[in-house]
Amino acid sequence: MASVTMTVNGKSVSGEVEGRTLLSDFLRNDLHLTGTHVGCDTSQCGACVIHVNGAAVKACTMFAVEADGTDVATIEGQANADGSLNVIQQAFQDHHGLQCGFCTPGMVMSAAALLKENPTPTEREVREYLEGNICRCTGYHNIVKAIMAASGQDVSAIAAE
């Protein structure tokens, strides 16, 4: 067993983990932050995307002990201080960027990383950035539209599918 301490969504947390415990499992099982979804355990689906020290990371590809001393952000920490949806979450709601919702936390976290790197991405750039995130319901069209809307771009000419 190993001790880990990290900041998660602005709060210091600690725990005891086995060396093989994935960060996704630590977040879900030990910290009860179940918004970080696990869809594949093989780094293929993107449902577990979180931010570690500001960078988008698939939590199923990192051991909890590797996150010791880091700053972790999950979907649970994305809302505004008053509890309202942040601009990306609101855009997903407004532009129907979700259906079943399973991929949505990972998509929102990926979108936040993209918009941090590229504040006004093109449709192609959004689609390329999301290549590591799988959605089985939406066909991605409204997800892309939501991300572009969250960037402040006019998406009125983009037809809904």
Q: Are 155 and 91 in contact (CB under 8 A)?
A: no
What pLDDT is attached to residue 96? Answer: 93
Question: Looking at residues 106-135, what average pLDDT do you find?
Answer: 96
Q: Name the percent of the chain in helix, strand, coil, to the closest 5.
A: 35, 15, 45
Strand partners, 2: 17
**Structure-block tokens of residue 104:** 């949505």
What pLDDT is attached to residue 160? Answer: 62
Question: Looking at residues 81-102, what average pLDDT do you find?
Answer: 96
pLDDT band at 84 (very low <50, low <70, confident <90, very high): very high
What pLDDT is attached to residue 144? Answer: 96
Whether the predicted pLDDT of 140 surpasses 70: yes
Residue tagged 């960027």 (tokens): 97
**pLDDT tens-digit profile of 47-76?**
999 999 999 999 999 999 999 999 999 999
**Nearest alpha-carbon partner for 75 in 92, 62, 63, 61:** 92
Q: Which long-range contacts (CB under 8 A, 24 or more apart) does 127-130 make?
A: 130/46
Q: Are 19 and 62 in contact (CB under 8 A)?
A: no
**CA–CA separation, 83 and 78 (whole Å):** 9
Question: Looking at residues 134-147, what average pLDDT do you find?
Answer: 92
What pLDDT is attached to residue 19? Answer: 96
Task: Supply the Cα-derived Rg of the chain in whole angstroms.
Answer: 16
Mean pLDDT taken over the chain: 95
